[in-house]
Amino acid sequence: MRPTFGKLAGIGLLLAFSVPISAQAHAFPARSRPRVGATLSQSPHHIRIWFDAGLEGLFCSLTVKNAAGHIVSSGPGHVVAGSHDRLLETAVPALSPGKYHVYWSVVAVDGHHTQGRYMFRINK
Amino acid sequence: MAHAIAGMRVFPGTLTFADPGVTDELDLNYANAALADAPGDAAPYASTYSLGYSKTITPDLGLSIGTAYQSTAAPGAPAGLQNLNLGIDYQLFESDRQETLVTGALNESLGNTGSAGVGTTYSVFSPTLLFGRGFGDLPSSLRDLRPLAISGIIAPNIPSTSSVARSLTWGLSVQYSLPYLQTYVRDIGLRAPLNNIVPLVEFPMQTFTSGPYAGQTIGTINPGFVWIGHYGQVGIEATLPVNNASGHGLGVVLGAGFYFDDIYPHGLGAPLFPNAPKVF
């Protein structure tokens, strides 16, 4: 029986999806604490972002700025040991009520750079 | 179909026209629809299986090749390969802050490379402009609209013979990115696989600019979604003709794209000359 083009295409698709994958892709946040856009009743101690791919710690940063644009986080952030290089963290002092912006910039283990920002609030 | 990134914006590969980036990708599409090649032409339901591959030469310069196999259930209707398509793409503009990409391309459908009755004996040259714009810079009062983005294509089609009508391919997609919403605007608690879905509507159109159909437009409205993964994407859209001249009935298009830059970041998926300077 002659295989149809459709069957051949289906087999090709299966083969293509079966390609062995060992690389790590662009890294994007899987979740964040505080959550993106959250309104908190008290200041967090840390800002943490879990990524969906391993990070090159040397080229990653995490910074928090207040509504006036002043940096309030302690240091540039770091990749936490024991997290499979997926957790980026920085400490913050007790934050007063207001709006805060979190800025992150990471390089995944495959060398791809991604960056982003999000906001959270602290209520009075 | 491809994917491209500008700042925080990931433009998923649209299923009916190329996205605004220069990428390393393999794309597979299946479509089943009753669409006319020219206004009022017979439009039996036809299945089309298409294959496209794009390769970066430098970070901004790429080459592409593609073809498609077409078959129809209509008795006596020809089936076979469409013409081979070759292209060269160059990313003309990128703004991470404004989530904007603009790419120019020179595409050629090569005559006499398809099957009799399906391919054509003439070639078609299509200088192409592709663009994408995300709306992440909207003011905070409109922040729930920041996941919106548009992408589009404008391409005059110039046949190698004057006996064939010229036309303009144009299209637009409107996208609302749930991953963008979750990651940059507001975490609404979506979990996999919903958190990686981009609902979108595509409007692929063709307006004839010469010959007996000059001024007439055919095209479709395609609502659907694309799911973006680590190493590729899958998408599905319905196909609705915009007028009687475009065809009839409901169709479907399915697409799968493989991001070679993520699958093979240091090999097949990397530019041949990664440090080449930008020309423009």
Question: Minimal Cα–Cα distance from B263 to chain A, Å?
Answer: 6
Tally of CB atoms within 10 A around B268: 12
CB atoms B263 and A9 under 8 Å: no
| pLDDT band at residue A20 under the 50/70/90 scheme | very low
- Beta-carbon separation of B185 and A112 below 8 A: no
For residue A29, the chain B residue with the least C-alpha distance is B183
Residues A79/A51, Cβ–Cβ less than 8 Å: no
A13 to B186: CB separation less than 8 angstroms, yes or no: no
Q: What is the pLDDT of residue B3?
A: 66
Q: What is the pLDDT of residue A9?
A: 53
Q: Is the ipTM of this complex over 0.90?
A: no
What average pLDDT does range B100-114 have in this prediction?
98
Asked whether the predicted pLDDT for residue A23 surpasses 50, the reply is: no
Listed residue (B19, B37, B35) closest to B221, CA to CA: B35
Is A7 near chain B, with CB under 8 Å? no
pLDDT digits over A98-124, tens only?
999 999 999 999 889 999 999 999 997
Q: What is the pLDDT of residue A119?
A: 97
Q: For residue range B183-225, list pLDDT tens digits in order.
A: 999 999 999 999 999 999 999 999 999 999 999 999 999 999 9
Q: Looking at beta carbons, which residues of chain B come within 8 Å of A37? A: 185-187
Contact B24, B55 (CB under 8 A): yes
**What's the CA gap between B158 and B171, in Å, rounded?**
17
pLDDT of B74 over the 90 cut: no
Q: Which of A9-13, A61-65, B104-108, B239-243 has the lowest mean pLDDT?
A: A9-13
A21 pLDDT higher than 70: no
Q: Is residue A22's pLDDT more than 60? A: no
- Give the per-residue pLDDT at A12: 52
Mean pLDDT, chain B, integer: 94
Q: How far is B26 from chain A (nearest CA, A)?
A: 9
pLDDT of B9-53, one tens digit each? 999 999 999 999 999 999 999 999 999 999 988 889 999 999 999
- The answer to whether the beta carbons of residues A106 and A51 sit under 8 Å apart is yes
- Which residue in B5, B7, B69 is closest to A5 by CB distance? B69
Per-residue confidence band for B2, with pLDDT thresholds at 50, 70 and 90: very low
pLDDT digits (tens, 9 = 90+) for A35-91: 999 999 999 999 999 999 999 999 999 999 999 999 999 989 999 999 999 999 999
Tell me what the mean pLDDT of segment B107-125 comes to: 96
**Mean pLDDT, range B258-271, rounded to an integer:** 91
Q: Which of A72-76, B113-117, B235-239 has the highest mean pLDDT?
A: B235-239
Position B268 pLDDT exceeds 80:
yes
Q: Is the pLDDT of residue B270 over 50?
A: yes
Q: Largest Cα–Cα distance in chain B?
A: 59
Answer whether residue B80 shows pLDDT above 50: yes
Select the residue from B1, B3, B49 to test the A interface by mutation, using most A Cβ atoms within 10 A: B49
- Residues in chain A with CB shorter than 8 Å from the CB of B231 are 21, 23, 25
**Contact check, Cβ <8 Å, B187/A25:** no
Which residues 52-81 of A are in CB contact (within 8 Å) with B?
52-53
Cβ-based contacts of B52 with chain A (< 8 Å): none
Residue A18 pLDDT: 44
CB spacing of A36 vs B184 below 8 angstroms: yes
Find the CB nearest B263 among A5, A23, A116. Answer: A23
